[in-house]
Structure 1
């Protein structure tokens, strides 16, 4: 069954690179009009040159009021992907309040903020909608020196379920994705050392980590009518890691 999003507009946060960019590209291939929200102007401009049809939206998600204003200005959104995320690698005893504020601001609070604006429009139009939050398998399997990151993604999982519960009567579906280690450019740099990644790789039944397209494919499915009765769930894209 071919998935088509023709006539629909999607918003992808953190869509200028990595997983978010792959998701935006997949949505474009399915015929959606795609708004790409990205903080880094250089990444946004590069993507615009590659895909002139995208609607670029430069925004710093840590700025609550500016973000609301920016998202309100892009018009109706039928599908939302909250993909933007940051991580800080810090031993637990060294975690600071400023680190927690920063990580939670992007990974959790921005989802609440952007989703509130988008959902308000969905409810007013009365046509339903679909939202996917990119979480992480680290909510099930703790990574050392990831206190703020793991905690923020745990909050995303709970938020996803609450949103699904409250928004279901409006025919708005909300789901989350748990990717394993993903081989983006940043991921390769972070995990290229075999001594660092092998303990996770050997626990992966499929024997390899994920590519950004793997997450994009799962996101497209959850946004599509093929998943019209799927809401409040978490899709594991981890090669079976959390099965053992």
Structure 2
């Protein structure tokens, strides 16, 4: 049996993190690189990606910063080409990129609906499809899809977002069924509100957050580190028998 540090180590592994330049994505890159992973950081903002790269390299790890618009269906293959040519074949994928445009079902435009579904649901499929052959060739891999507590519960003014995250959970199970025999574990992490700039923008209006916290037994929202630490576990050898699961980081909200 290997030691605890070895079971949770990502040394020698390469992780692709989408939505890497802001909020949770920055913390994910920091935590995974601290555990020993080299990082392929993907986001639209090239300047912010440079900051992420500095954080990763300061930990002694390599980082490839890929500025790409993941709404473009060709972006996933571009990311994989850059990774393969500059750093090697990744065996960890964290599908973190996502968006929400809070509006009622009646107010949401078709264009907004399509963009939310494209980034939150289509992109994880495209990224996984692009990376799976390399994972299989390397003997296995890890896919962690950042879903949401909203995949299980109704959330007003978030119809497209809820639909996309429920779909992502279903997609995760199909990834498990098709790629599990190749030693690829795919899991969905389902946080409550995470206090990032995006979370603050959506929930920091009036008494919206206070009313929401009344439904959470823990009485607070999640920190980026609490989510990233779970992702680290799911990306590590320690989680080899965890596959196809929806893991909620919600302070007990969905237990009630």
Q: Pick the TM interval, shorter chain.
A: over 0.9
Alignment correspondent of 2:91 = 78
Contact 1:72 1:117 (8 Å CA) reproduced: no
1:105 aligns with 2:118: yes
> Which of the numbers 64, 82, 89 marks the counterpart of 1:55?
64
1:103-133 CA distances to partner (integer Å, 9 max, x unpaired)? 11110111111111110111233x1111100
SS at match of 2:74: helix
Q: RMSD over aligned Cα, in angstroms?
A: 1.3
Question: How many Å separate the matches in 2 of 1:49 and 1:228?
Answer: 31
SS at match of 1:64: coil
Check whether the contact 2:29–2:52 (CA below 8 A) recurs between aligned residues: no
- 1:66 is displaced (CA, Å) by 3.4
Is 2:47 the partner of 1:42? yes
| TM-score of the pair, normalised by structure 1 | 0.95
Please state whether the residue corresponding to 2:241 is helix, strand or coil: coil
Return the alpha-carbon distance in structure 1 between the equivalents of residues 235 and 51 of structure 2.
26
Consecutive aligned runs of 4 or more in structure 1 exceeding 6 Å deviation: none
Q: Which residue of 2 aligns with 1:142?
A: 154
Preserved CA contact (<8 Å) 2:9 2:237? no
Residue 124 of structure 1 is matched in structure 2 by 137
Aligned length in residues: 243
> Aligned in 2, Cα 1:50/1:69: closer, same or farther, shift over 3 Å?
closer
Q: TM-score scaled by structure 2?
A: 0.91
Q: Within the alignment, does 1:220 sit opposite 2:228 as a pair?
A: no
- 1:5-44 matches, within 5 Å, as 5-44=10-49
Q: CA deviation at 1:60?
A: 0.5
Distance 1:138 1:66 in 2: 27
Report matched runs for 1:151-166 at 5 Å. 151-166=163-178
What is the aligned partner in structure 1 of residue 76 from structure 2? 67
* 1:18 Cα offset (Å): 0.9
* Number of the residue aligned with 1:92: 105
Unaligned runs of 5+ in 2: none
Task: Look up the match of 2:252.
Answer: 240
Q: Is the 8 A contact 2:76 2:130 kept in 1?
A: no
For 1:209, the equivalent position in structure 2 comes to 221
Mean alpha-carbon deviation: is it higher for 232-241 or for 52-61? Answer: 52-61
CA distance in 2, matches of 1:156, 1:50: 29
